[in-house]
Structures are given as structure tokens and as C-alpha cells.
Structure 1
Amino acid sequence: MSKAQTKKRAADDQAGPDPKQQKLFPIFSKAGELSGDSSQSGSSFRWITPALGPKRSCLHGVNGAPRSLPKVAAFDLDGCLIQSSFPKKGAPPKFEWWRKDVPKKLKEVHAQGYSVVIITNQALRTSTLISEWKKKIPLIANALSEVPFRIFAAIEKDGYRKPIPGMWYELERIFAEDDVQIDVASSFFVGDAAGRPNDHSSTDRKLALNIGIPFYTPEEYFLKLPTAKYTLPGFHVSSLPTEEKRIVPSKPSLLPSSSTPELVLFVGYPALGKSSFFRTHFAPAGYTHVNQDTLKTRDKCVKATAEALQNGQNVVVDNTNRDVQTRKYYVDLAKKQGVPIRCVYFTGSLELAWHNNLYRAFNLPASLTVSQPTRELLPCNAFTSFRANFQEPTIDEGFYEVRRVNWQFEGHEDARKRWSMWLQIDGK
């Protein structure tokens, strides 16, 4: 964002509601008059356009002139501040507080010097439903005319969707433009998706754990009820073994001393670090890299491999190579050209591979997004189809050896912190 844009945003955020503008409580508004446009709703709320993110998948709005303060009081929306409901096409927008004391509590926390922020996932499948839902927020703002707040709403299954902290990263960015760093220890997050027996999910609690922020359920925060039991389903990296050797067997050396060209076949799920392993161990030794993501078809990969071997080059085929039949194309090629072939098998579960897929698509640190190419999220069927057809490689296929490479995260501390978060875009 340019300095001019930053100044403009700051000026916009400091601009309060028009004193001449009449404020109506929702029940006195005529059906059809309300929309996300504050000039139509009589609200000091406004949606900021364009929405955030490369796909404009994070809606962002402000009520009044919210200040960037070190202490943040963050809240989920549905089932926390208001009763859960879904917009109905053509019906006038409406809402109901989760409990009658919610507005009073929000006024109190604002008076105590907190920035009030709403962070919500919204499963809105069409642009019409999104438009209808957006009309509800000025009604809430009308009823909270004394409480400036920000709202972020994730409307796609991407890096903004809780528990991935994309919306929180945007909040940190906005505050940093005002030279304010959030005091996470003094802030808190309230949400109903807490992993309790009757909760629809645990994404709010997982988001709080990812951020490192104190967490409360609505019952705990608004009603002062004791903490309820909960579970956190799904994959977390803490379940991975920590004592496994990286390469098994570790000897002899991964790179042979012979000058005879060889063919190395990688096997394993997508997103288990095969390409990174090649760059670290094989690229410095001059191995040719053959990859179907680049060449697009298996036939082109086989042809490129044959040409490189004919030219006396060592080759690594960096594909998933999931079954015996797929690997046989390369085993037969090696026999035909009289070169040795071996297999490097990258171990790891579907759950780990999917987690890595989410991490590299949505949760890389900013320092790595600059230096690494953008990785799009691979579809789920790329992983489930691998599992359905996978056959573990063996010496009997014609390899002179099969090395196993166990997963180990390699990266700096900030990257490890982000990789270690709860990452999911669907499910509980």
C-alpha cells in the first residue's frame, strides 16, 4: 500500500458518522431499505472495498472510527454475539442477540480500552447470499452505535478461513500501519466453535491456539459459567514421531561415487517435501530434474528422462509414482539403457501431506512468500486417489535399493511456528 493510500485509509477510518444522518433501530426500518451501504441503512457502518485477499474472499467492514489499540477483544459472530441464522433470498435482514446482555458487555469492553473486532466464517455459496448477509451487519452496528468495531468475514475455503489465521494477519497488518503492535497476552477471543460435545466444530478454539491468545466460550465470557470439557479432533503435527532418522538406511552415501549415470525415482504423496529434498541433495550434484507438474504428462517425463540418460546425465524423476505399473515405465527404461535405478520413498500419511499442502498454500511466513514461488492448494482428490492406488515400492520391482525418507520440517523458527498450527479449511 502506498503512503497516499495509507493516509487515505487512516482518514477514512477517522471519519465518524454524519451527524445529520438519522439513526434508526432495525425494527423501525422499512423492509428493503437496508443494505451494506451506510447511506441507505442509517448506520455509521460501512463495508470497505475491495474485499481483502487475492480472490477478494475476506470481507472487511468498520463501524464508526475504530482505533488501533494494543488490547483486542475479538469475537465470533453467529452463536456468540448473535443467534445463528441464514439469510433468505428476498426476506428483510434481521438478527437477534445471543443473550440480551451482549450489547452492554461490548460497550464495557470498549470503554476499558479494547479494540473490538469480529472474526467470522460464513458459508455463503452464492453472491446473492453474500449480499443478503452483508445487509445484516449495519443492523448490528445500529444497535452498537457507541461501539466502534471492525469485522472480518471469510467467505471461501482458503487462508482466511478459521482456524487458519488469515483474518488475524490482516488485523495485525492494519494495526502496524498505525504503528500499533497487538498485545496478545492482554487480548482475548470469544467463540462458540470450541470442541465441546454439542459444538459444530472447534475452529474458534484452534484459531486462539494458533494466535496464542486467551480463549473463552460465550458461556464463559458472557454468563460466567465454568469451563466445559472439549476435544480437538483432526490432525496436528504434535502427533508426529520425533525420533525417526531422516534417511533410512543412512549409509552408504545418498550420492554414489560411481561416474555411471543413474536414475532415481521418487515415490510419495504430494507435499511431502520431494522437490525440496531434490534441491538440497541432488541439484548440487548436477542431477537433472524431471517433474510432471512442469512437463504435464507422463509420456513427456519418460521422454525427458530417456534423453537425459542418453546424454550421460544423472536423473531424478520427482513425481508421486504411486503404483508398480507407473514405476515400471522407468524401470523398463533403465534396463533398456543399461543404467542402475533406485527408489527414494518419502513416507508420511495423507493427513500430514494435506497439512503441508495447506501450510505452503495459505500459511507461509511473509519472508518465504517473497523468495518462493506461489503454491496453489492441490485438490483433495490428489491425495485420496494416491492413497487408493498406492503400492509401497520394493526391491523386487527392479531397484537396486529403496531408501526411505521420513518427514522432518526444515525451516527457520517463524516458519516452524506457522507449520505447527492447526490448519484446516473444512470439517471440525
Structure 2
Amino acid sequence: MSKAGKGSTRKRARESPEPGPSPKAQKLFPLFDKSRSAETPSAFRWLAPALGPRRSCLHAVNGDPKPSAKVAAFDLDGCLIQGTFAKKGAPPSFEWWRPIVPKKLKQAHDEGYSIVVITNQALRTQALIDAWKKKIPLIANALADVPFRLFAATEKDGYRKPIPGIWYELERIFAQDGVHIDLAASFFIGDAAGRPNDHSSTDRKLALNIGIPFQTPEEYFLGLPAAKYTLPGFNVSSLPTDAPRIELAEPPLLPAPSSPEVVVFVGYPALGKTSFFRAHFGDAGYVHVNQDTLKTRDKCVKAAEQALADGHSVVVDNTNRDKATRKHYIALAKKHKVPARCIYFAGSIELAWHNNLFRAFALPPALAAAEPKRDLVPYGAFTGFRADFEEPEVAEGFVEVRTVNFVFEGDEEARRRWGMWLQIDGK
């Protein structure tokens, strides 16, 4: 849950009309209630290890949930239970979001749906994770006749809604039993729906990313009409569709191979600079100089100088955000009496961050297996570039500055995933 949304789930629960008793009259399920405590045998169990390379996605089952082509997926806080924050030292407890919740879950199970809970949890320490985990068996004990599967994203990674990493795990688990999920027959219920008082819109965005129907708890459990909503944040649908990949058709991007040159790339991380090098310069014999590999600028300068001394052209594939950084490579070109050109990769910080999330967390499996693993570049690298950026100019000593616009290149599945709502923070 984002900081901006703290407490808003509880506010919405108070404001929403409901039939029957008020929230104050709802039954509390505490750990010391012996009829539902650890003294009562439970079919609930946490599965180990947790999912993901960092074991960041907790996974549990209640009873023996069977895979089904129809999935009824639910958020947890503010949807199935009240979104409250446990007081330090207090025993674990929970309240249903509305008294009708258990009945509706049982009904969905009886109708052949596989019940799945998908939740984001902002748990910064292992102690907080351990304390939160103690609450979930209480919910399971209160749903003894409803088998379900639960996934909890505990870090800002590819499992965090709206990135559908948890859904991909669910598809993988079901596929082991030969079950393919019918998206049209499935649905997702969540309170983070982009309404005026919602803390975020990540639940609705998750459903859009997956391609399944979505409802709010008010719609599903109480039968209330749909409310107006907005979806803030960046989506690739906002990008222009008519921008050329490379501006200026002439002169050719690659000159006649008569003498070496220095080509300096400039642009945010994740705007396709390295892919552009492979597509246009790699086969032409240009030496690739990249700080991700060499680690320091000094090593990049030395590698570029060695390439020129050996008679090779060189591409400096770094962000090269300001004139002070670029002047080192312009000076090298002058020293070796070769031209220096600049290729500026145009694109907003929002697009660059989106691409960063895509390649770290949302690549199709086949592409992820074929590409080198790309870790998420910290957001500070993007804001730092923006703060220090100086647009490149011929006056710096370049013979030309060529602009390259970002154009997604990939197959249909890669484009579909790139077109999703991708975020690990914000509303």
C-alpha cells in the first residue's frame, strides 16, 4: 500500500452502504479465541520455499484447493477483511470486510471456482512479515469449508500488483495439473480500483493486465453499481505512434568504413541504447564500451582510447548525461584525429522507467531465457539523469547530433506485456 493511501481502505469501508449489522457489530476473530486458535487443527499451511529469486512472494494453501479453469481471485485488505494495522504486542486478529464475505466465498467455491487471494503487503522487516503471517491461519480457520490459495507480494518486484508475476505463477502451478485458466470465465475483486477515495488503482490495473473481468467489493459482495474511476500513471498508449525511429534519413547512420570514429550515445537508461548498438553497429566492427560492464568512467575512457589506437571505431554506450562527461570522448576523438558523433535517444523518464520495469519483471519467458538477465535499475539513476541532463549539441565538438526515438521492437506477446500497466509504487 502506498503511503498516500494509508487508512483510506478503512475510510471506504465506513462510507460504503451495506445491508445488515454495522462494522462495529462484526465478529472479531482473535488468536485467543480457542474455538478458532492454534488449538483447533487447521488444514492451512505455508508452502516453502517462498516464490521468486529473492523468496519475496509468500505462498499458502487452505485445505486442498483444486485447480480450475475458472478462477475467483480476491484482494485481501479492504476486500475480504478490514484493512487494519496491528498494534504492537496485540494478538493477531481480523474482521471480515462485511459479514456476507464468507458466504460469497463458499458460493464461488461451490460453483466450481478456484479461490485465490492475491495481496500486496508493505512489510519492511522479517518481524513484520512473521507477525502478519500469524493472522492468515485465523482467516483460514474461519473458512474451513472453502479451500483457497494465497499469494502475498512482500517486496517491490515482479510479484507486486499490478505486475502480474503472481498470476504467472498461478498459471504455472495449474499447468502442472493440465489446467489452463479461462480468462473470460474468471474474475478479480479488489478495492484498489482508482475511485476517488481509493488508495490506488493497482487491483483494477492487475485485472486489465491479465485480461479478466474486474469488480470492486461493493459491486461483488453488496450488489452496488459501479463507481467512476481514473487510472493514474504512465501507459504506453499515451505515446505518439508516428515518430520516426531515426530522425534525418541522410546522411546514412553508418559512414563508409574508411576511418575510425567515436560515437557517443546519450539518453536515460532503458531506452534501447544497447539494442540499437547490436542492431546497427555490432556487425560493422565497432567496439562496444559500456560502464555497466567496465564499472567506471575511467575504464570506459581507457577502453575507448585503446580501440582507437588499434584502428577501430568505438561506441560509448552510457547515459553520458552532461557536457562534462561527453568531453572526455570528444577529446579522445580530437587526439586521434577522428570524428565524434552523438546519437541522442529521446524519451521521457516515465517511458524509461516503464521499460526498466518491463525488462526486469515482465519479459515473456522465451525472451527472458534468450536475453542476459537485467536487474532493475534504481529509480535514483533516472532522477539523477534528469537533474543533470544537458541536451547534446554540435557546438560541443560533434560533427553531428542524431536523434533516435524509442520504438518497441518485439513479437506480439512481448508487445502485449510491454503495453501493460507496470509500477511498483504510486497510485
Secondary structure of residue in 2 paired with 1:49: coil
- Hey, what does 1:406 align to over in structure 2? 405
Displacement of 1:253 in angstroms is 1.4
Supply the distance in 2 between the matched residues of 1:215 and 1:119 (Cα, whole angstroms).
Answer: 14
- Hey, what does 1:15 align to over in structure 2? none
Over 3 Å counting, the alpha-carbon distance change for 1:338 and 1:152 in structure 2 is same
Q: Does 1:222 align with 2:217?
A: no
Displacement of 1:90 in angstroms is 2.6
- Hey, what does 2:6 align to over in structure 1? none
Contact 2:31 2:91 in 1 (8 A): no
Supply the distance in 1 between the matched residues of 2:128 and 2:279 (Cα, whole angstroms).
Answer: 48
Over 3 Å counting, the alpha-carbon distance change for 1:103 and 1:379 in structure 2 is same
- Hey, what does 1:143 align to over in structure 2? 142
Displacement of 1:44 in angstroms is 1.2
- Hey, what does 2:125 align to over in structure 1? 126
- Which consecutive residues of structure 2, in runs of 5 or more, have no partner in the other structure? 1-26
State the one-letter code of the partner of 2:322: D
Displacement of 1:364 in angstroms is 0.7
Q: Does 1:30 align with 2:28?
A: no
State the one-letter code of the partner of 2:286: Y
Supply the distance in 1 between the matched residues of 2:417 and 2:231 (Cα, whole angstroms).
Answer: 18
Supply the distance in 1 between the matched residues of 2:239 and 2:373 (Cα, whole angstroms).
Answer: 26
- Hey, what does 2:250 align to over in structure 1? 251
Displacement of 1:398 in angstroms is 0.8
Per-residue Cα deviation, 1:274-317 (whole angstroms, up to 9, x for no partner): 00000010001111000111111111111111111111101000
Contact 2:30 2:92 in 1 (8 A): no
Over 3 Å counting, the alpha-carbon distance change for 1:34 and 1:382 in structure 2 is farther
- Tell me the C-alpha RMSD between the 2 structures: 1.6
Over 3 Å counting, the alpha-carbon distance change for 1:368 and 1:207 in structure 2 is same
- Which consecutive residues of structure 1, in runs of 5 or more, have no partner in the other structure? 1-24
Contact 1:331 1:341 in 2 (8 A): yes
Supply the distance in 1 between the matched residues of 2:175 and 2:127 (Cα, whole angstroms).
Answer: 34
Per-residue Cα deviation, 1:207-233 (whole angstroms, up to 9, x for no partner): 000000000000111111111000000
Displacement of 1:30 in angstroms is 3.0
Which runs of structure 2 are paired with 1:204-243 in the superposition (5 Å)? 204-243=203-242
Displacement of 1:34 in angstroms is 8.7
Over 3 Å counting, the alpha-carbon distance change for 1:385 and 1:332 in structure 2 is same
Contact 1:34 1:93 in 2 (8 A): no
Supply the distance in 2 between the matched residues of 1:151 and 1:214 (Cα, whole angstroms).
Answer: 20
Over 3 Å counting, the alpha-carbon distance change for 1:146 and 1:335 in structure 2 is same
Over 3 Å counting, the alpha-carbon distance change for 1:261 and 1:32 in structure 2 is farther
State the one-letter code of the partner of 2:188: F
Over 3 Å counting, the alpha-carbon distance change for 1:34 and 1:348 in structure 2 is farther
**TM-score, normalised via structure 2 length:** 0.91
State the one-letter code of the partner of 1:48: L
State the one-letter code of the partner of 2:314: V
Displacement of 1:251 in angstroms is 1.8
Contact 2:307 2:314 in 1 (8 A): yes
Over 3 Å counting, the alpha-carbon distance change for 1:106 and 1:27 in structure 2 is closer
Contact 2:346 2:406 in 1 (8 A): yes
Contact 2:30 2:138 in 1 (8 A): no
Over 3 Å counting, the alpha-carbon distance change for 1:362 and 1:29 in structure 2 is closer
Which runs of structure 2 are paired with 1:146-161 in the superposition (5 Å)? 146-161=145-160
Displacement of 1:33 in angstroms is 11
Secondary structure of residue in 1 paired with 2:150: strand
- Hey, what does 1:385 align to over in structure 2? 384
State the one-letter code of the partner of 2:86: P
Contact 1:67 1:115 in 2 (8 A): yes
Secondary structure of residue in 2 paired with 1:51: coil
Over 3 Å counting, the alpha-carbon distance change for 1:33 and 1:343 in structure 2 is farther
Secondary structure of residue in 2 paired with 1:293: helix
Contact 1:89 1:132 in 2 (8 A): no
Over 3 Å counting, the alpha-carbon distance change for 1:87 and 1:424 in structure 2 is same
- Hey, what does 1:55 align to over in structure 2? 54
Displacement of 1:28 in angstroms is 8.0
Displacement of 1:86 in angstroms is 2.1
Over 3 Å counting, the alpha-carbon distance change for 1:28 and 1:300 in structure 2 is closer
Over 3 Å counting, the alpha-carbon distance change for 1:73 and 1:27 in structure 2 is closer
- Aligned identity (percent) is 71
Displacement of 1:125 in angstroms is 1.1
- The farther-off stretch of 86-95 and 358-367 is 86-95
- Hey, what does 2:350 align to over in structure 1? 351
- Hey, what does 2:3 align to over in structure 1? none
State the one-letter code of the partner of 1:255: L
Displacement of 1:85 in angstroms is 1.3
Which runs of structure 2 are paired with 1:70-89 in the superposition (5 Å)? 70-89=69-88
- Hey, what does 1:306 align to over in structure 2? 305
Supply the distance in 2 between the matched residues of 1:367 and 1:330 (Cα, whole angstroms).
Answer: 37
Supply the distance in 2 between the matched residues of 1:301 and 1:33 (Cα, whole angstroms).
Answer: 67
Contact 1:31 1:92 in 2 (8 A): no
Secondary structure of residue in 2 paired with 1:248: coil
Secondary structure of residue in 2 paired with 1:89: coil
State the one-letter code of the partner of 1:381: G
- The farther-off stretch of 297-306 and 191-200 is 297-306
State the one-letter code of the partner of 2:50: A
Secondary structure of residue in 2 paired with 1:247: coil
Per-residue Cα deviation, 1:40-71 (whole angstroms, up to 9, x for no partner): 66321100011111101000000000000000
State the one-letter code of the partner of 1:413: E
Supply the distance in 1 between the matched residues of 2:225 and 2:147 (Cα, whole angstroms).
Answer: 30
- Hey, what does 2:15 align to over in structure 1? none
Contact 2:92 2:134 in 1 (8 A): yes
Displacement of 1:373 in angstroms is 1.1
Supply the distance in 2 between the matched residues of 1:83 and 1:386 (Cα, whole angstroms).
Answer: 42
Secondary structure of residue in 2 paired with 1:52: coil
Supply the distance in 2 between the matched residues of 1:414 and 1:149 (Cα, whole angstroms).
Answer: 30
- Hey, what does 2:98 align to over in structure 1? 99
